[in-house]
Structure 1
Amino acid sequence: MTTVNVNGVALGVESFGDDDAPLVLLAGGTTMLSWPDALCERLAAGGRRVVRYDLRDSGESTTADPEAPAYTLRDLAADAAALAGALGGGPAHLAGIGVGGMVAQVAVLEHPAAFSALTLAGTRPVAPGPPDADLPDHDQATMGRMFARPMPDWGDREAVAEFAAAGAEILGDDPDAARATAARIWDRTPGTAPPVQMANQMGLVFSRLDCAPRWRERLPGIEVPTLVVHGRRNRFFPVGNGEAIAREIPGARLLVLDEAATAIPGAAAGEVAAAMLKLG
């Protein structure tokens, strides 16, 4: 792992595969560990240079004030384009998961020359907050259970890992995988201050971003090959969100993972990698 400086910030990155191979850039949601190791390795084995990275205020990237971020969604999109340029090798295949998928949509719309393909995993076509009337919202019973829990002691690695595992079980994800990932995220988080930990573990910084203007109406203008991946059991962004994105981006392919929720399971890494590799 290392950092790359773009747009006045340092972005934490990790690379897999041959440096001279076509680039697949994976935007974290919010940390790079949202993208499972197995998927990165499968993409690299398929002849790609895979670089996953942390969004601002997470992981090894510049951390300032997650409670009052002085940047916008459009700045995060510009980071993706600048990082693709800094890494070199021509236009990149950009992929975003969760809130990283919002970054990826805006990045391809606003910086089309930087990208050759787009993958959107477990995301939706509108900003945090109430969705459009035709889009399914978070499952309210699930959200009630998630946010009724007391916060852990953010200075206790094991408590944070157990908190993540319990949340994964509520969401329908693998609690063992979530526990292991949360411990790795904790190890990479710069300090135990609750706002910083929550930005890394829960992505709550995203709810404080300025995400204007809307971009959903611009999706038909995306011209690069696009793959939309969504878990059938996703209760946070229900599958209707992925279906809407796939309808609105011309020629997009929808891959629904019947046994997945918000995370990409290790067992699905091969299927997702194969679909991504077909985009180029």
Structure 2
Amino acid sequence: MATAQLGHVEIAYEVDGPPDGEPLLLVMGLGTQLVAWPTDFVAALVERGFRVIRHDNRDIGLSSFTESPPPSRAAVVRSFLRPGTGGADYLLADMAEDARALLDHLDVATAHVVGASMGGMIAQQLTVDHPERVRSLTSIMSTTGSRRHGRVHPSLLPSMALSLTQGHPSDEEEAVRLGVEGWRRIAGPLFDEEEMTTMVRAAVRRSVSPIGTVRQLLAILESPDRTERLASVQVPTLVVHGLADRLVAPSGGIATARAVPGSRLLMFPDMGHDLPRARRDEIAEAIARNAARAVSPARP
């Protein structure tokens, strides 16, 4: 584990794979730490020749936390009902700048960028803001920011509201139990409770910040629709989505693929808002194939 001071934000990160491998940046989702990337998935990417970079987004894990007063419930409700009310401390564009600055810190000129859920939104934002830094783009279980697509299933709203307003349990076992149950609600039929328990326990022992998750949610809600700007993307793009995803409806993935010219859409009937073990190698191979379509960066 290492940290990088990037302006006023400190970002924790890990790097796996050969120093001469093609850089590949993995960006995780809302309230989710870098340990949520399955180890076998990271290994599958390393085996395919990538130098894999993972990081904790700001306000989560071992990265730094925003010092301003926590958002109120009223601010969250306003952003849900009327996006653009200014309740966010930062936007997805700022989180994309964190990713760009991390690449600078690691002396990486260009990278393949893979994002899951909110991480897919950040990856899209990085690609449209800094196209010269992205070799290829993979957006997993994500959406464009359009309110018409990728909507949360209504059955999830009560539990989401509860998880965002309740405090963090002081007891580790209770925190792990609640975390696993949260993932169970959004996962598909291939949910692996034992593996998820191990991951959640590792995350709980690293750091937990419900307030950080709320700040990140506000960043999503307050950020503009990326659909029009995604039309300018010229790098090879892969969109992956599960047909059983209830957190980000499959329409989010379809809208993303339609927005990016020449993109490829890969959808799984047995995948929800998760990366099921049975599909990881196939997804890693699809990422590698998409990356292989990229033009190699010019040598100095």
- TM-score, scaled relative to structure 1: 0.87
Poorly superposed stretches of 4+, deviation over 6 Å: none
Give the 3 Å change call, closer, same or farther, for CA 176–146 of structure 1 in structure 2.
Answer: farther
The aligned amino acid for 1:18 is P
Q: How does 1:1-280 map to 2 (within 5 A)?
A: 1-29=1-29, 30-65=32-67, 67-68=70-71, 70-126=89-145, 131-132=147-148, 135-147=149-161, 151=166, 153-173=168-188, 174=191, 175-189=193-207, 196-197=209-210, 199=212, 203-209=213-219, 211-280=222-291
For the residue of structure 2 that corresponds to 1:221, the secondary structure is: coil
- SS of 1:208 mapped into structure 2: helix
Tell which deviates more after alignment, 40-49 or 21-30: 21-30
Q: For 2:41, what is the secondary structure of its paired residue? A: helix
Alpha-carbon deviation of 1:32?
A: 1.3
Contact 2:150 2:253 (C-alpha < 8 Å) held by counterparts: no
What's the counterpart of residue 84 of structure 2? none
| Kept in 2: contact 1:28–1:34 (CA 8 A) | yes
**Aligned-partner residue type, residue 57 of structure 1:** D
Residue 226 (structure 1) shift: 0.7
For the residue of structure 1 that corresponds to 2:120, the secondary structure is helix
Given that 1:138 and 1:235 are in contact with CA atoms closer than 8 Å, whether structure 2 keeps it comes out as yes
CA RMSD of aligned residues (A): 2.1
- When residues 157 and 54 of structure 1 are mapped into structure 2, their CA distance, relative to the original with a 3 A threshold, is same
Structure 1 residues 42 and 136: CA distance shift in structure 2, 3 A: closer
User: Could you tell me which amino acid in structure 2 is paired with residue 55 of structure 1?
Assistant: N
Q: Which amino acid aligns with 1:154?
A: P
CA-to-partner distance for each residue in 1:186-235, whole Å, 9 max, x for gaps? 1111xx6xxx2453xxx332222274443221111111111111111100
Structure 2 length normalisation: TM-score? 0.82
The one-character-per-residue Cα deviations of 1:35-68 (angstroms, maximum 9, x if unpaired) are 2211111000111100111100111111234835
Question: Is this contact kept in 2: 1:227–1:252, CA < 8 A?
Answer: yes
* Structure 2: segments with no counterpart, 5+ residues: 72-87, 292-300
Count of equivalent residues: 267
Q: Decide which moves more: 164-173 or 215-224.
A: 164-173
